[in-house]
Amino acid sequence: MKYNVIDGLKYTQQHEWARKEGDTVVVGLSDYAQDKLGEIVFVELPDVGAEVEAGKSAAVIESVKAVADLYAPVDGKVTEVNEALLDQPEVINQDPYGEGWVFKVEIKDESQLDALMDKPAYEEFIIKEEEEE
Amino acid sequence: MPMGEVKKTPFYDKHLALNGKVIDYNGWLLPVQFPQGLVEEVHDTRNRATIFDVSHMGEVSVEGKEAEAYLQKILTNDISKLKDNAIIYSPVCYPDGGVVDDILVYRINSENYFLVVNAANTDKDYEWFKDNCFGDVRLQNLSSDYAQIALQGPNSEEILQELTDLSLAEMKFYRFQVNVSLAGVNSIVSRTGYTGEDGFEVYCKNAGALALWDAVWEAGWKKELRPAGLGARDVLRLEASLPLYGHELSKDINPLQAGLNRFVALDKAVPFIGQEALQKQKQEGFSRKLFGLEMLERGVPREDYPVKAGEEEIGWISSGSYSPTLDKFIAMAFLDPEVAQQGEEVNVLIRKRTYRAKITKMPFYRRDK
């Protein structure tokens, strides 16, 4: 597949990824999503301490041409945001699963992660979406 | 055009072969960007050369003994001094001063003109041209006969020169030649563009289009020619502060508001459609005029975002983007001229937050000559 999908992460239908690290979940944008958006030039981050809700917009990612919401994959309180993205949003394009992480939430209900897609399921999802385009 | 029908240009398969991302743009299937990405396409255009498919643009011929008198009536600009093989830019207005379209007028001779109009406006324009026609004037909508390539960027001349004996170095900006043989394809070559860069726009009949495209590529690859799409074209024209119909001009926005005063001959001896209304409005002043904005904080100004001075809303953004050339966020905005002054700070409302911007002069980018 043309896009990088990492094993061990969970993926949403809106193309966020979620990685569990103890009690927190790290959230970012998938390689597929950053490729579709193109050059990212602006990121609006949630406030630390804010409560985010699964499926609701938690951050905004903007490329030259498009504005995209980044939806929280799970409910929880934001514990940390990647402030480096404010000055260098292009890091999401360069390293979507690493330095390009967007925020971390303290997870409330771990079962919400189970509802998300794993690598094979997400790859299948991308292929379907590409075909529909 | 029937609803839902999408048209392909002769270069459609070329865009797919180049992995262009093709979208429906006003009924035309055209590439919005190529794999190198919009930002690189902008840099390529400013630093080397890019090729754009602009076959969607409309072409109309105006012929006859009264062609000049007719054009003087429908154009806001004055073509009385326009020479053969020269081009002029002009808005076309309604009687109330609102804009039908902004077009290029190519004078082949005093009884033969070639008009280039915006794709989305072609049918509307042609109806308007016909409705206002008089005397010995023959109009022809040639839009579906012609393909058009824009070759833009500093390497353009060198690339195109390989295809013709005509000395392009001698062709000045806004000049053109008809019946130019480009690699054997009969073409109209004009030194024009919509990027703020040096370059050419080349028109040929559909039958020769692919041969012409291939020849330009063959000559271009050594000079690092790359394809570019509609996305880059829009950013390039914004950097150069060139208006786009539907954004800076429309039936509700007149050319004087958009700052196009030098293309509106208000005192033209032959009356033109919209002249009286524009003269009157100029005297009365405008509640909104076009200004340039540069963001002082990182934030992407986009169309329709409100602009505020303190708590007061003083206008809206008509076009805005990240500028790869300047590495800044820039916008054109219609603002209250009573409040807006160059150098002053205003706020752009982006979603729920305001971001600081300053009013700045246009164009944002001007090439070194």
For residue A132, tell me if it sits in a domain.
no
CB–CB contacts below 8 A, A to B: 31
Among B182, B206, B239, give the residue marking a domain's end: B239
CATH number, domain of A96, equals 2.40.50.100
| Token pair belonging to A49 | 């301490």
Q: Which residue of B has its CA nearest to A42?
A: B299
**What kind and span of H or E run contains A42?**
strand A40-44
Verify that B227 and B157 share a domain, yes or no.
yes
Do residues B47 and B154 share a domain?
Answer: yes
B108 in contact with A, Cβ within 8 Å: no
* B149 and B17 part of one domain: yes
Mean pLDDT for chain B overall: 96
- The answer to whether B32 contacts chain A (CB < 8 Å) is yes
Q: Is residue B271 part of a domain?
A: no
Residues B80 and B134 in one domain: yes
* Minimal CA separation from A20 to chain B, in Å: 31
Residue contact B321–A64, C-beta within 8 A? yes
Say which DSSP state A43 is in.
E
Question: Which pLDDT belongs to residue B125?
Answer: 98
My answer on whether omega of the bond before B227 falls inside 30° of 0, hence cis, is no
Chain B contact for A84 (CB, 8 A cutoff): no
In tens, the pLDDT along B219-241 reads 999 899 999 999 999 999 999 99
Domain that holds residue A18: 10-121
How far apart (Å, rounded) are the C-alpha atoms in residues B2 and B335? 38
Enumerate residues 89 to 128 of chain A having a beta carbon within 8 A of any beta carbon in chain B.
none
pLDDT for residue B4 is more than 80: no
Report the percentage of chain A scoring pLDDT > 90. Answer: 95
The answer to whether the CB atoms of A64 and B38 lie below 8 A apart is yes
In a domain, A4, yes or no: no
Domain boundary among B86, B121, B141: B141
CB B225 within 8 A of CB B215: no
Q: What is the pLDDT of residues A75-88, one digit of tens each?
A: 999 999 999 999 99
pLDDT at residue B1 above 50?
A: no
The answer to whether position A33 is within a domain reads: yes
Q: Give the pLDDT confidence score for residue B343 in this predicted structure.
A: 85
The residue range of the domain holding B235 is: 7-55+144-239
Report yes or no on A99 lying in a domain. Answer: yes
How many domains is chain A built from?
Answer: 1
Strands B199-205 and B146-152, sheet pairing: antiparallel
Cβ within 8 Å, pair A42-B351: no
Find the mean pLDDT for residues B65-90. 98
Q: Which of A39, A62, A87 sits opposite B37 (nearest CB)?
A: A39
Confidence of residue B3 (pLDDT cuts 50, 70, 90): low
pLDDT at position A132 is 82
B299 touching A (Cβ < 8 Å):
yes
Query: In chain A, what residues touch B329 (CB-CB under 8 Å)?
Result: 41
List CB contacts (< 8 A) between B33 and chain A: 38
Domain presence at residue B264 = no
Scanning A20-49 for CB atoms below 8 A from B yields 38-39, 41-42, 44
Taking the CA of residue B327 and the nearest CA in chain A, the distance in Å comes to 10
Closest Cα in chain A, distance from residue B164 (Å): 37
Is residue B171 pLDDT above 70, yes or no? yes
**Does B2 reside within a domain?**
no
Contacts of B67 (CB under 8 A, 6+ apart): B110, B111, B112, B113, B137
Q: How far is CA B87 from CA B35, B82, B116, B137, B173, in A?
A: 34, 7, 10, 20, 9
Indicate whether A42 belongs to any domain. yes
Distances (CA, A) of B185 to B181, B212, B259: 5, 6, 39
Choose between B96 and A133: higher pLDDT: B96
For A106, the enclosing helix (H) or strand (E) is: strand A103-107
pLDDT surpasses 80 at A6 = yes
Q: What is the count of structural domains for chain B? A: 3
What CATH number did the domain enclosing B43 receive?
3.30.1360.120
Domain end among B200, B215, B239: B239
Chain A contact set for B322 (CB, 8 A): 39, 41-42, 64
Q: Are residues B51 and B63 in the same domain?
A: no
With an 8 Å Cβ cutoff, are B235 and A64 in contact? yes
Taking the Cβ of residue B320 and every Cβ of chain A, the question of whether any pair is shorter than 8 Å is answered with no
Residue B276 lies in a domain: no
Q: Which of B299, B322, B351 sits opposite A64 (nearest CB)?
A: B322
Span B250-259, average pLDDT? 98
pLDDT of amino acid A131: 87
Residue from B27, B45, B25, B26 nearest B36 by CA: B45
Residue B131 confidence class, pLDDT cut points 50, 70, 90: very high
Q: Does B39 contact chain A (CB < 8 Å)?
A: yes
CB contact under 8 A, B302 and A67: yes
Same domain, B180 and B41: yes
Q: Could you tell me if A133 lies within 8 Å of chain B, comparing CB atoms?
A: no
Q: What percent of chain B has pLDDT over 70?
A: 99
Closest residue in chain B to residue A60, using alpha carbons only? B351
CA B267 from chain centre, in angstroms, equals 25
